[in-house]
Amino acid sequence: MRIQALLLSCAFTFPACAEDLAIQAGSLYDGVSAAPRHNVTIRVHDDKIVAIDSGFTAPAGARVIDLRQSTVMPGFIDSHVHIGSKLPSRKNAVEDWLTHNAIDRAFDGAVFARQMLQQGFTSARDVGGGDETVALRNAINDGKTPGPRLWVSLEPLGPTAGHGDNRSGMDGGLSHPGWDNGLVDSVDQARLRVREHKRRGADLIKIMPSGGIASTGDDPHAQLMTNDEIRTVVETAHANGMKVAAHTYPSPAIDNAVRAGVDSIEHGSFASAETLALMKQHGTVLVPTLTVYEVFYQVASTHPELLGPGTAPKELENDPLPKRNLPLAVKSGVKIAYGTDIGEGDHATEFGLLIANGMSPSQALFAATRESAALLGASDRVGSVQAGRFADLVATEGDPLADPKRFGQISFVMKGGVVYREHGAETVAR
């Protein structure tokens, strides 16, 4: 019984059971250089990388992990998730929303977070949840449940009848105490909401300057927040040490958000060349989220009744546009971070979509590592294989830059020096 108790303790409180490791890598893409390094050993102590040695070494006292036939990369980062969200093809979206609460979504999020980790995503940024996402982040950090390191916002901030208004399309008599947590209809309200979100545990702020697609009654081509409201959110968030992610589609709204100082544009589907140039000038990051358009377009085409009221026509009209516009963004030189806009599902799908629509495999890998780490403000901790960073490593057979489907065939996952996947199978954390 004592042995079983010790094993369980190591599984859920892994820092106390850490060991020295030597990961022998046949090839390494380190997230810094586009060129691979061959035949190296990554030395790990506790949860951090301490050195990368040339050749295959086996330091005294270290456990050797043999990845000599594999390509090792930094753990992937998904910069736009909704960790507790189900795929829309499973059941009616409105029914699911109204028959499940935050606790249900927390349990769903735990399942989807575990799946993400198995897919090779060791970090993620949740841009629109509630208290359940804060609780899940804390549970993962405390070793209670496996999952990526999470940076979370809470409810997206936006105006009444905007993309984040849960009452849109509903019976006007329906209400829920949490439905007002993101509503912003004045400058004073914008300032207060940011401060409330900070108090409730948010790492960043998400805003909805324009209308959206998967929402009822709003126009994705229209700016719905005022410039003063956007500017107040940004100033208040930055004063509190939080970045701001802006969901917005049309160029005029993107321009206003960029000038107000937002850190990233989520989607940016209708951005013009001039708008992309403005983003590059200001260092604003684009998170294209092609995966969500692929998912929703298929559902809108085959089962529109599963989507929210009146949203299927918007999906069919607008979802093909981001893929057509991505080559323009790549050519512009704007910084691009990796994001899917899903919770449940295959988060590696975005690799194939980015590559098929204008990015090189190397650029896609940088988007999911170096660029996403910079967007998180965590380049000193994640996104590259260097001394001092967390030992977040993934591996696949073959070279994913030569054969991009390998991005979706991860055989090894380590997060913070703990192995969660080995030889293509989930392991007990140790």
CATH of the domain at 335: 3.20.20.140
Do residues 253 and 319 touch, judged by C-beta distance below 8 A?
A: no
| Other beta carbons less than 10 A from residue 143's beta carbon | 17
Q: Which domain holds residue 11?
A: 2-75+384-426
Q: Grade residue 430 by pLDDT with cuts at 50, 70 and 90.
A: very low
Number of domains in the chain: 2
The number of CA neighbours under 13 Å toward the Cβ of 46 is 7
Domain end point (choices 376, 392, 412): 376
Q: And the tokens for 104?
A: 């249900």
8-25 residue pLDDT tens: 444 444 444 568 999 999
* Residue 251 CA from chain centroid, whole number: 23
What is the pLDDT averaged over residues 230-245?
A: 98
Task: Summarize pLDDT for 67-122 with one digit per residue, the tens.
Answer: 999 999 999 999 999 999 999 987 788 888 889 999 999 999 999 999 999 999 99
Residue 1 has pLDDT above 80, yes or no: no
Residues 314 and 211 in one domain: yes
* Res 341 pLDDT > 80: yes
Banded pLDDT at 172 (limits 50, 70, 90): confident
Quickly state the pLDDT bin for 388 (edges 50, 70, 90).
very high
Q: Is 112 found in the same domain as 193?
A: yes
Percentage, residues of the chain above pLDDT 90: 90
Examine the domain organization and report whether 149 and 159 are in the same domain.
yes
Same domain, 254 and 365: yes
Domain edge (last residue) among 356, 376, 396: 376
The CATH number assigned to the domain holding 64 equals 2.30.40.10
Q: Are residues 338 and 403 in the same domain?
A: no
List, for residues 247-303, the tens digit of each pLDDT value. 999 999 999 999 999 999 999 999 999 999 999 999 999 999 999 999 999 999 999
Do 69 and 168 share a domain, yes or no? Answer: no
- In DSSP terms, 317 is beta-bridged to none
- What is the pLDDT of the chain when averaged over all its residues? 94
User: Are 36 and 167 found together in one domain?
Assistant: no
Q: Does residue 357 share a domain with residue 284? A: yes
For position 395, what pLDDT does the model report?
A: 98
Residue 429's pLDDT is 55
Residue with tokens 């098929």: 356
Same-domain check for residues 70 and 154: no
Which residues are CB-contacts of 317 (< 8 A; sequence separation ≥ 6)?
Answer: none
183 and 213 assigned to the same domain: yes
Counting Cα atoms < 13 Å in the Cβ hemisphere of 291 gives: 23
The reported pLDDT for the residue numbered 289 is: 98
Q: Are residues 323 and 200 in the same domain?
A: yes
Whether residue 290 sits in one domain with residue 239: yes
